Chain A
Amino acid sequence: MTIRLSVHRVILWTLLLVFALWFLAPLYVMLVTSLKDAEQLRAGNLLSLPTDPTLYAWLKAWGSACTGVQCEGLQPFFWNSVQMVVPAVLISTFIGALNGYVLSKWRFRGSELLFAFMLFGVFMPMQVVLLPMSQVLGWLGLASSIWGLILVHVLAGIPTTTLFFRNYYVGLPDELIKAAQLDGATFWQIFWLIVVPLSTPIIVVTLIWQFTNIWNDFLYGVVFSDSGSMPITVGLNNLANTSGVVKEYNVEMAAALIAALPTLIIYIVAGKFFLRGLTAGAVKG
């Protein structure tokens, strides 16, 4: 559509820029705040650049800030998150792929109904499983452990990953499967030799989606972990809410950035796939 009136364009661009600034503001604020020391914090304001940038806040946030009782910074929690996220993402993605494959190419009576029930799990408020789940984890001996968190994230993630793969595989021509059957391939051979090699886009989308959601999760983290298995989001929240003598906002900002970096980097690098995940999830196929 071509718009002739340049006044319209000017207004348009102004609005767009204003909003862009509004969206960027917190990121900018976090960054500049994290590079200041206590003096500069007092002297300056939200938007002022550090007069003498320092990495003090970052180092403290990483290694020595207090998060409740411990004062080891975010480092241990960062690694907890990594240990939690990697297996959870891989396992839930793999299970989603298998389920999607069966639901789209090997439908059986009742499979659609089962899928519909499972789909509700995507929308359900997780508050409703927290209490019983902590019991279950306790029985399994996984309470307050990283494996407990992994289990919860996998179970909670299966409906979403299944949805992604199923919708994608529905787009794979059925004739491809028929041809493979005629060639004599078995269920597994078709999966590994034909379907999986064609799944690269959706695998990437799912991995990114799961990584982002599991890394950013707080609810499960705060309910199912203790100080030894706490993921970084919980650590960050503790750090920011610990009422010490003086609140060190620069350390808080640095800590927030540390927590945000992994998913932000993925977003910047592979934003296209992130977007596909969003649209795949919300606009059901």
Chain B
Amino acid sequence: MFGSPKSKATVWLPKLVVAPSFLLSLLFIYGLMVWNGYLSFTDSRILPSYNFIGLDNYQALWVNERFHVAMRNLLVFGVLFIGGSMALGVLLAIMLDQKIRAEGVLRTIYLYPMAISFIVTGTAWKWMLNPGMGLEHLMHQWGFENFSFGWLVDPRMAIYCVVIAGIWQCAGFVMALFLAALRGIDDSIIKAAQVDGASLPRIYWSIILPSLGPVFFSTLIVVSHLAIKSFDLVMALTAGGPGFATDLPATFMYAHAFTRGQIGLGAASAMVMLAVVAAIVVPYLYSELRSKR
């Protein structure tokens, strides 16, 4: 063990065993990250070039209208998706915590979307929200002649379709985590509150939810990081459209780096994404690891 006298082999064997994968993994993460960073400072177009051009790409991003749309969408989508998933997830968890007989079945139903690809989700919802044949058509057939649902092709509303599909996929995940946490709460505390005369909503609000702070926080982090990485869902649901109305930084990056021959710009947008994620995740990881000491 740590500190015990060891034969020579035992000293370096563990290090040797993890070294290759550690090294490769760290190179993959940080090495490539640095390389990408470098690319973002070059004038690469279709092929990478190594002519240093300083912050030109970032300046270009700053004035790029499409990138503005993407970042704005990230904010809108981010807030709604994260907020919606968390709210729905917590609600479902609280409801399921009420000793429901069919809990197992319901849990399975709420969680299954996490098992399928975002592409499948996007494809399905694209059909369901299809202006001519989807929800609108259904409503018409049911007698609501004046119902119209053209959100999917409306540049202003399309992003909300992405939000809906996203919440559908991820709320179950939030529910699962919160349910597990709720289950971990000591029953006797709740019984004591009941004896003290507190009503159920009061118990939840004043006692249970506050003690779920850590779970809330870590779930928030994971869902946020899902939001920022949202690429698959947008590609399948709207392909960034109509036009680039539902663009997100992830799709912006892909488009510019791989289809529009603007590697430098794409690399810069990736670095911006990294900065946003790091701003959220690094403090969280740091505090998590610190508290484990």
**What is the interface of chain A, defined by CB distance below 8 A to chain B?**
1-3, 12-13, 15-16, 19-20, 22-27, 29-30, 33, 41, 45-48, 95, 98-99, 102-103, 105-108, 111-112, 114, 116-121, 123-133, 135-136, 155-156, 158-159, 174, 177-178, 181, 186-187, 212, 215-219, 222-223, 233, 236-237, 240-241, 249, 252-253, 255-257, 259-260, 263-264, 266-268, 271, 274-275, 278-279, 281-284
Answer whether A123 and B281 are a contact pair too, CB < 8 Å, given A132-B32, A240-B236. yes
A249–B282 Cα gap in the complex (Å)? 43
Asked if B270 and A12 make an inter-chain contact with CB atoms under 8 angstroms apart, the answer reads no
Asked if A127 and B39 make an inter-chain contact with CB atoms under 8 angstroms apart, the answer reads no
Q: Which residue of A lies closest to B112 (CB)?
A: A267
Q: Which of B60-68, B117-125, B154-162 contacts its partner?
A: B117-125
Asked if B21 and A218 make an inter-chain contact with CB atoms under 8 angstroms apart, the answer reads no
Asked if B123 and A29 make an inter-chain contact with CB atoms under 8 angstroms apart, the answer reads no
- By size class, the interface of chain B is 35 or more
| B residues less than 8 Å from A22 (CB atoms) | 168
Asked if A118 and B29 make an inter-chain contact with CB atoms under 8 angstroms apart, the answer reads yes
A241–B232 Cα gap in the complex (Å)? 13
B242-269 vs A, Cβ < 8 Å mask (1 yes, 0 no): 0000000110011001100001001101
Judge whether B13 is part of the interface by a CB distance below 8 angstroms: yes
| A residues less than 8 Å from B281 (CB atoms) | 120, 123
Question: B250's contact among A45, A127, A132, A178, by CB below 8 Å, is which?
Answer: A127
Judge whether B207 is part of the interface by a CB distance below 8 angstroms: no
Question: A253's contact among B95, B117, B124, by CB below 8 Å, is which?
Answer: B124
| B residues less than 8 Å from A237 (CB atoms) | 119, 122-123, 235-236
> 7 interchain pairs (CB within 8 A)?
A98-B17, A106-B14, A118-B29, A120-B285, A132-B32, A253-B124, A259-B117
| B residues less than 8 Å from A126 (CB atoms) | 229
B271-291 vs A, Cβ < 8 Å mask (1 yes, 0 no): 101100100011001001100
B1-15 vs A, Cβ < 8 Å mask (1 yes, 0 no): 110100001100111
Asked if A240 and B126 make an inter-chain contact with CB atoms under 8 angstroms apart, the answer reads yes
Judge whether B172 is part of the interface by a CB distance below 8 angstroms: yes
User: Looking at chain B's contact residues, is the secondary structure mostly helix, strand, loop, or mixed?
Assistant: helix
Q: Which of B51-59, B77-85, B98-106 contacts its partner?
A: B98-106
| B residues less than 8 Å from A98 (CB atoms) | 17-18, 21
| A residues less than 8 Å from B228 (CB atoms) | 125
**What is the interface of chain B, defined by CB distance below 8 A to chain A?**
1-2, 4, 9-10, 13-15, 17-18, 21-22, 24-26, 28-33, 35-36, 39, 48, 88, 92, 95-96, 98-100, 106, 108-128, 130, 133-135, 137-138, 141-142, 168, 172-173, 176-177, 180-181, 190, 194, 200, 215, 218-219, 221-222, 225, 228-229, 231-232, 235-236, 239, 249-250, 253-254, 257-258, 263, 266-267, 269-271, 273-274, 277, 281-282, 285, 288-289
Q: Which residue of B lies closest to A24 (CB)?
A: B109
Asked if B119 and A259 make an inter-chain contact with CB atoms under 8 angstroms apart, the answer reads yes
Asked if B21 and A279 make an inter-chain contact with CB atoms under 8 angstroms apart, the answer reads no
Give min CB distance, A259 to chain B, whole Å: 6
- Sort A-B residue pairs by CB-CB distance and give the 8 closest, nearest first: A216-B117, A267-B115, A106-B14, A132-B35, A129-B32, A218-B232, A127-B270, A132-B32
Answer whether A212 and B115 are a contact pair too, CB < 8 Å, given A47-B138, A260-B120. yes
Asked if A102 and B17 make an inter-chain contact with CB atoms under 8 angstroms apart, the answer reads yes
A278–B110 Cα gap in the complex (Å)? 14
Answer whether A116 and B285 are a contact pair too, CB < 8 Å, given A23-B110, A236-B120. yes
Question: A131's contact among B124, B126, B180, B267, by CB below 8 Å, is which?
Answer: B267
Asked if A218 and B231 make an inter-chain contact with CB atoms under 8 angstroms apart, the answer reads yes
Most chain B CB atoms below 10 A, which of A102, A212, A282: A282
Give min CB distance, B89 to chain A, whole Å: 11
Asked if B121 and A279 make an inter-chain contact with CB atoms under 8 angstroms apart, the answer reads no
Asked if A155 and B28 make an inter-chain contact with CB atoms under 8 angstroms apart, the answer reads yes
Give min CB distance, A25 to chain B, whole Å: 7
A27–B36 Cα gap in the complex (Å)? 40
Give min CB distance, A62 to chain B, whole Å: 16
Asked if A102 and B18 make an inter-chain contact with CB atoms under 8 angstroms apart, the answer reads yes
Answer whether A118 and B26 are a contact pair too, CB < 8 Å, given A45-B137, A123-B277, A223-B254. yes
| B residues less than 8 Å from A282 (CB atoms) | 173, 177, 218-219, 222
Question: B39's contact among A20, A108, A131, by CB below 8 Å, is which?
Answer: A131
| B residues less than 8 Å from A108 (CB atoms) | 2, 14-15
A20–B106 Cα gap in the complex (Å)? 7
| B residues less than 8 Å from A253 (CB atoms) | 123-124, 127
Asked if B25 and A118 make an inter-chain contact with CB atoms under 8 angstroms apart, the answer reads yes
Give min CB distance, A113 to chain B, whole Å: 9
Asked if A278 and B18 make an inter-chain contact with CB atoms under 8 angstroms apart, the answer reads no
Asked if A274 and B115 make an inter-chain contact with CB atoms under 8 angstroms apart, the answer reads yes
A177–B126 Cα gap in the complex (Å)? 54
| A residues less than 8 Å from B109 (CB atoms) | 20, 23-24
| A residues less than 8 Å from B124 (CB atoms) | 26-27, 29-30, 253, 256
Give min CB distance, A276 to chain B, whole Å: 10
Question: B133's contact among A41, A119, A132, A267, by CB below 8 Å, is which?
Answer: A41
| B residues less than 8 Å from A256 (CB atoms) | 119-120, 123-124
| B residues less than 8 Å from A284 (CB atoms) | 218, 288
Q: Which residue of B lies closest to A267 (CB)?
A: B115
Asked if B267 and A15 make an inter-chain contact with CB atoms under 8 angstroms apart, the answer reads no
